[in-house]
Amino acid sequence: MITVKHLSKAFGGHVVLSDVNEHIKPGEKVVIIGPSGSGKSTFLRCLNLLEQPTGGSIIFDGQDITDPHTDINKVRQHMGMVFQHFNLFANLTIKENITLAPVKLKRMTKAEAEEEAMRLLRRVNLEDKANAYPGQLSGGQKQRIAIVRALAMKPKVMLFDEPTSALDPEMVGEVLEVMKELAEMGMTMIVVTHEMGFAREVATRVLFMDGGNILEQGTPGELFNHPKEARTQDFLSKVL
């Protein structure tokens, strides 16, 4: 579904990603772990071109999205993204947050989008917040809404950029719960996280990134119980 070839990214002279190669198949739940500064978030943000790669190519659904002739706005409609800081639209109500993109991009009529929004809100038990503004919600509620907002576009893949890192500890569970449900429904997911429990339970594959590259990967069982690289062992000994 997504093929990454020789991806590199540098900010000025600072190299963040160097020659990353990866292939993600439909239905996979890939969890990316690694120390901060290892390039995890940058890698994820390159996948929908929120960061412009400095080299290499990314093929999504047979289309090279790094090609200047590709309409990136079209591509992004099929890739949902959830951010560490939620980024709900502060000037819109929850319902408007969810319906804005589907309606503006003519994927649904306003009535259809609102019906879909309410259906999704019921799924995360937040239908009573439909007319509230983001400022009135807790962090956990905001992040569940952010997931719903991305799902309203019916994406083929969901990208999660440290979705629980900005949450109070007691709110992490409710967000992970929604993500687990999503995984069970067969959504293709790529998740950058520090939640090792989630990685163990949900991931079909775990990537360990360090120094701008994927150092090691495997099933959660392989990677967590029998890490091969010294760097992976060192990292896991600190976080587990």
Q: Does residue number 52 form part of the binding site for other proteins (CB under 8 A)?
A: yes
Instruction: Give the nearer residue to other proteins in terms of CB position, either 76 or 205.
Output: 76
Q: Does residue number 18 form part of the binding site for other proteins (CB under 8 A)?
A: no
Q: Does residue number 236 form part of the binding site for other proteins (CB under 8 A)?
A: no
Within 13 Å and on the Cβ side, how many CA atoms surround 170?
Answer: 1
Provide, rounded to whole angstroms, the least separation between the CB of residue 9 and other proteins: 12
CB 178 within 8 Å of CB 147: yes
Binds other proteins by CB under 8 A, chosen from 12, 13, 135, 169: 135
Instruction: Give the nearer residue to other proteins in terms of CB position, either 146 or 203.
Output: 146
Q: Does residue number 157 form part of the binding site for other proteins (CB under 8 A)?
A: no
Provide, rounded to whole angstroms, the least separation between the CB of residue 33 and other proteins: 22
Q: Does residue number 235 form part of the binding site for other proteins (CB under 8 A)?
A: no
Provide, rounded to whole angstroms, the least separation between the CB of residue 52 and other proteins: 6
Q: How many residues bind other proteins (CB under 8 A)?
A: 33
- Binders of other proteins among residues 57 to 76 (CB under 8 A) are 68, 73-76
Q: Does residue number 36 form part of the binding site for other proteins (CB under 8 A)?
A: no
Binding site for other proteins (CB under 8 A): 48, 50, 52, 54, 68, 73-81, 83, 85, 87-92, 100-101, 104-105, 133, 135-136, 146, 149-150, 153
